[in-house]
Amino acid sequence: MNIFRSLIISLILITVTATGALASSEHIKVMTQNQYLGADLTAIVVAPDDIAFNTAVIAALQDIAASSFKERVRKLANTISNRQPHIVGLQEVYEFTCEDFGSGNCAFFEGAFNDHLSKTMDVLAEQGNDYYVAAIIENLILPPPGLPIPGLPVHLDADGVPDLFIGVVDRDVILARKDVETSVVNFACARPTPDGCHFSTVAQLSTLLGPINIERGFVTVDATVDGETYRVVNTHLEVQLPSSNPLSATIQAAQASELIGTMSLQPPPAGTKLIVLGDFNSSPDDTRFPDPSTGPFYTPYQQLVNGTDLFGNPVSLAYTDTWNMSRPGDSCCQDAELLNEQSELYERIDIIFALETPQAAQSNFLGVHPGNGNKTPSGLWPSDHGILFGRLIYK
């Protein structure tokens, strides 16, 4: 009886000790969330002329309105509320505006015009969360700054006079929990912005205003969590569109090289863990490169996990894909309309990389199952991407 009692006491002590060690371990909780603009823009990108471009813009506005960001943002914010990450990387944080000079034409697309960031912060506050914007970068801006018009002209009839003007800003954002102290990292990059860097290699979009760069970039903060420091980078690389833009994969690969090179040339202070997360538009299963038909280019995923540039030259230590420490899963993409009944995710392009391999990583894709209240009341997925949450444990 005494032996049994001693065994029970020993087990209790072991459990308490292990639980205490886990609670006091050095760890950071991070999340990457592509909020999704609400429409497939392929028809705009490949439009052969002004008429086709205008028609594609109208269709996109209708889809964006139907995707109801005001409804989806509550589900997106729920994933943050439920997991309480220290740092959140957001991509496709759009602001859509409309000017019709009192004609009422903007009402044809009611629901399309929102500021994703302000609505996200408002809903987080409503749900009892205290987060702040730690870093932000503005990527694609329509119309480009400096043009003497209030937006991209849209024609609803054939009289040749624009009926409304659309303003678009695409942003990548880092949110931090109130108890996390952060500071923006200013890199010595080729195209610096106030909180980050734009990539030198970009795709172009043909518009009624002429060709416009589809800017991409990254933002970075140094964050202090429970006395430990972490450098967190949030990025969104160019999408691969081989049928409409054969150079898109090469552009994407060049952007990854610039990202890795910048991180390598300006490393974090000693003892600071480096984490790179976001929508890389590059999957572990993407084996299109090296490809003799387009050049010996390594994909962004291949570059990061090998620590090389797009040509395979070593530029960094290898990064760890922290999801591989957990289990398989896909993060993209639901139907553009977000109304598919069952999840149709087929590739994993939303990733959390760590330069120093954690001792353990606990990861989950959120908002990817039709049950458990993941969908909105009208049956919409919160995004066309799953939301990746990770808890990285270092000791």
The two beta strands, 228-236 and 217-225, are antiparallel
The pLDDT tens digits of the residues spanning 19-56 come to: 343 444 789 999 999 999 999 888 888 888 899 999 99
Confidence of residue 1 (pLDDT cuts 50, 70, 90): very low
H/E/C letters for each residue in 331-351? Answer: CECCCCCCCCCCCCCCECCEE
Q: Is-contact 300 349, C-beta < 8 A?
A: no
Write out the two tokens for 320: 């760890």
Give the integer Cα–Cα distance in Å for 376 and 158. Answer: 38
What letters, b where the CB count within 10 A reaches 16 and e where it falls short, cover 277-301? bbbbbbbbebeebeeeeeeebbbbb
Phi, psi of 343 (to 5 degrees): -65, 140
Among 187, 211, 267, 184, residue whose Cα is nearest residue 45: 211
* Beta carbons within 10 angstroms of residue 340's beta carbon: 14
Range with lowest mean pLDDT among 85-99, 282-296, 351-365 = 282-296
Tell me the residue ranges of DSSP E strands in 341-384: 350-354, 360-366
The pLDDT tens digits of the residues spanning 168-225 come to: 999 999 999 999 999 999 999 999 999 999 999 999 887 777 888 999 999 999 999 9
Predicted pLDDT at 206: 79
Predicted pLDDT at 12: 33
Q: Could you tell me what percent of the chain has a pLDDT over 90?
A: 76
The pLDDT tens digits of the residues spanning 81-122 come to: 999 999 999 999 999 999 999 999 999 999 999 999 999 999
Q: Is the pLDDT of residue 275 over 70?
A: yes
The pLDDT tens digits of the residues spanning 317-338 come to: 999 999 987 676 899 999 999 9
Q: Is the pLDDT of residue 18 over 80?
A: no
Give the integer Cα–Cα distance in Å for 385 and 343. Answer: 10
- Mean of pLDDT values over 52-71: 95
Q: Is-contact 50 97, C-beta < 8 A?
A: no
Phi, psi of 29 (to 5 degrees): -105, 125
Q: Could you tell me what percent of the chain has a pLDDT over 70?
A: 90
* Superfamily for domain range 26-393: Endonuclease/exonuclease/phosphatase (3.60.10.10)
User: 3-class DSSP state for residue 164?
Assistant: strand
**Length, in residues, of the chain:** 395
Range list of H helices, 24-115: 42-45, 50-66, 69-83
Residues 6+ apart with CB under 8 A from 40: 60, 63, 336
The pLDDT tens digits of the residues spanning 126-161 come to: 999 999 999 999 999 988 888 888 899 999 999 999
Confidence of residue 2 (pLDDT cuts 50, 70, 90): very low
Give the integer Cα–Cα distance in Å for 316 and 139. Answer: 26
pTM of the predicted structure, to 2 decimals = 0.91
Count of CA atoms in the C-beta half-sphere (13 A) of 355: 21
Predicted pLDDT at 293: 54
The two beta strands, 95-99 and 350-354, are unpaired
Q: Average pLDDT over the chain, rounded to whole?
A: 89
Predicted pLDDT at 211: 85
Predicted pLDDT at 242: 66
Q: Is the pLDDT of residue 243 over 80?
A: no
Predicted pLDDT at 336: 94
Predicted pLDDT at 247: 82
Domain parsing of the chain, residue ranges: 26-393
Predicted pLDDT at 289: 59
